A and B are shown apart, each in its own frame.
Chain A
Amino acid sequence: MIRQKKFLSVIQHLLLIIMCIIAIFPLYWMINSSFKNDSEIFTASFIPLKPTIANYVYAFSSMPIIRMMFNSFSIAILMTALQLITSLLAGYALVRWKFRGRSFIYTVFSLSWLIPFQAIMIPNYVLINKLGLNEQILGVVLPFAVSTFAILSLYQNFKAFPVALVEAARLDGESDFGILLRVILPNIKSTVASLGILLFINGWNEYLWPTLVTRQLQDEPIQIGLKSFVNSDTNMWGSLMAATTISCLPILIIYLVLQKQVVNSFVRFGIK
């Protein structure tokens, strides 16, 4: 019996180890390759035999990497902030206010989640263009100011929030905004933080829309810059890997520092 259990445990761990290797290997290979020189890059060696930082030097010299990372950061932070603000307000109103058409609005929100971004990309582009927000961070961020996913997640949270607390605050003379800010928010801090992490990662990885709106390297987020290493003329694999490693760093740091919270937020909102 015990033997059987032990055997099962070994098998389980083996499987998990294999899965971990599969997950981590590309990351490892990226870092590994970024230190290899041009002649070594296509070899299968697991460590660079002649480690070089030439790829990094080239990447930094050919592209305003710091500037583009800053762009990525601004975009991700702005998106997260806007999405949190709009979803907190919308979620609160949908749960706490009784008004005509409330369930209709909720349904519209839910359904809009099903529309792929590619379908509304062109109208959005035309609109941003007409507003003159092309080539600006605001133009990148504005169409993502509202996240249905965030609204629906917070909607569930507000629903589960004890009504008596809200009513007590109302009797204390608190306004709706005050209730949201000073009664509800402090008690769902960790949920909002988890949601914020998810939204930030989403914002950081945004690719398609920024490609459309921005045209010059110094306006673009880092993710777009990466593709300039690979084109029909040359494939600068080493530099691509170096730049990609740099662009991954912030997310990796977030993962390392907030490991528990990140895992928690994936679990909480049921995403993988």
Chain B
Amino acid sequence: MGNIIINQIKKSFHLNEVLKGIDVEIPDGSFTILLGPSGCGKSTLLRIISGLEEPTSGKLFINEEDVTFEEPKDRNIAMVFQNYALYPHMTVYKNIEYGLKIKKVPKQEREEIIQNVLKMVELIEHVDKRPAQLSGGQRQRVALARAIVKRPYAFLMDEPLSNLDAKLRNQMRQELIELHQQLETTFLYVTHDQVEAMSMGSHIIIMNQGEVMQQGTPKEIYTNPANLFVAQFIGSPPTNIIEFEDMYLGIRPEDIGIVNTNQIESDVNISGKILTTEQLGGETIYRVKTHIGNLNVRIQSCWDEINEDVDVRFSFDKLMVFNKEGNRVVKNDNMMRIIKKLKNEKELVYS
């Protein structure tokens, strides 16, 4: 068990500042996701926590202990690598045993621990195989088993599912969630995939360009994005952003409805024309051209065609308002008055 506290961590490679003062706390026992586009510094942060990289400045605490300059092996953490990093010349059993052997755990105890973990990850019949003889999913499980036997304070995972195909990825996602519940240990999981983040994380830290953009539960992040970046990064398709009178308005595609013309009133009712459709089976994604710009709309399946005239509608309380700098602001009465102009399409110039 252990929480991880990251205190003003900065990291530069030559003149390139990759981390610009990161301040986060990863709660003990949480399934925390480090989420961000590639190159945002999330993997570097993970490597600093693991000890494979040293920060340029700042402090790192694991389980209340300052480990900023400790060797990786003295931090009691385990890491699962993107490409598994299994030792190719060792059998599954030897791979899992290796770390324990170095720690000089007695043979009998080793065997016990490994047998238990093998059961947990369902690899018993594969113990004598080499990594090359295993499927991607099985390799992933060996990597997990190798981490589990160390009984670490925290598991660090660097995009561990990105090498698997879609179906296996879904399955492994479930397995990881179950594993986390079983182990009750801190998981710190790096990914650029927001679906992975939303579905697995109990806590999400969103990073961009070496800075933390927002952290919170998936619900907080989805319903209350702190800035334009988060609003657009979470959700698929991304939040619609409308530039309007010195501010940005955000509305999620799933908060927009589509009606054929002349139906019930809503807060905002704008006429438009369907540009493209994406049928997902249960749901449909439309791109609709309106006078406030092209909007992404995600609704329960309905089979409208391209070029059809439709009304898009949404309510004011679903609108998110951001200031010019892109930061979320609370809607006040003055803004509401301005926003209400949206309702009356005649006051706006059709673009």
Contacts and interface: CB of A to CB of B under 8 A. Distances in A.
Interface string A159-179: 000101101111111100010
A145 to B, nearest CB: 28
B266 to A, nearest CB: 53
A168 to B, nearest CB: 4
Given A164-B81, A164-B83, A187-B89, A171 B52 contact: yes
B72 A171 contact: yes
Interface residues of A, number: 15
A146 to B, nearest CB: 28
Given A173-B73, A173-B99, A173-B103, A167 B87 contact: no
B102 A170 contact: no
Contacts of B146: 168, 172
A187 B88 contact: yes
B159 to A, nearest CB: 12
B85 A170 contact: no
A165 B102 CA distance: 16
A167 B103 CA distance: 16
Contacts of B87: 165, 168-169, 183, 187
B314 to A, nearest CB: 47
Given A167-B52, A178-B102, A172 B73 contact: yes
Contacts of A167: 52, 79, 81, 85
A186 interface: yes
B19 interface: no
A59 B83 CA distance: 62
A174 B150 CA distance: 14
B102 A172 contact: yes
B88 A171 contact: no
A173 B85 contact: no
A172 B89 contact: no
Given A164-B81, A164-B85, A183-B87, A170 B98 contact: no
Nearest to B152: A171
Contacts of B79: 167-168, 171
What secondary structure prevails in chain A residues at the interface with B? helix
What secondary structure prevails in chain B residues at the interface with A? loop
A164 B86 CA distance: 9
B50 interface: yes
**Chain B residues touching A, range:** 20 to 34
Interface string A180-217: 00010011000000000000000000000000000000
Given A167-B52, A168-B79, A174 B102 contact: yes
A171 B150 CA distance: 10
B102 A162 contact: no
B78 interface: yes
A162 B86 CA distance: 11
Contacts of A162: 83, 85
A191 B284 CA distance: 56
A172 B101 CA distance: 9
Residue among A162, A169, A186 with the highest chain B CB neighbour number at 10 A: A169
B52 A170 contact: yes
A187 B87 CA distance: 9
Given A164-B81, A164-B83, A171 B73 contact: yes
Given A164-B81, A164-B83, A178-B102, A170 B88 contact: no
Contacts of B52: 167, 170-171
**Closest 10 CB pairs between A and B?**
A173-B73, A164-B85, A172-B99, A168-B85, A186-B89, A173-B102, A164-B81, A171-B72, A170-B72, A167-B52
27 contacts: A162-B83, A164-B81, A165-B85, A167-B79, A167-B81, A167-B85, A168-B79, A168-B85, A168-B86, A168-B87, A170-B73, A171-B51, A171-B52, A171-B72, A171-B78, A171-B99, A172-B73, A172-B98, A172-B99, A172-B102, A172-B146, A172-B150, A173-B73, A173-B103, A174-B73, A174-B98, A187-B87
Given A165-B87, A167-B85, 12 more contacts: A162-B83, A165-B88, A167-B79, A168-B87, A171-B52, A171-B99, A172-B73, A172-B99, A173-B72, A178-B102, A186-B89, A187-B88
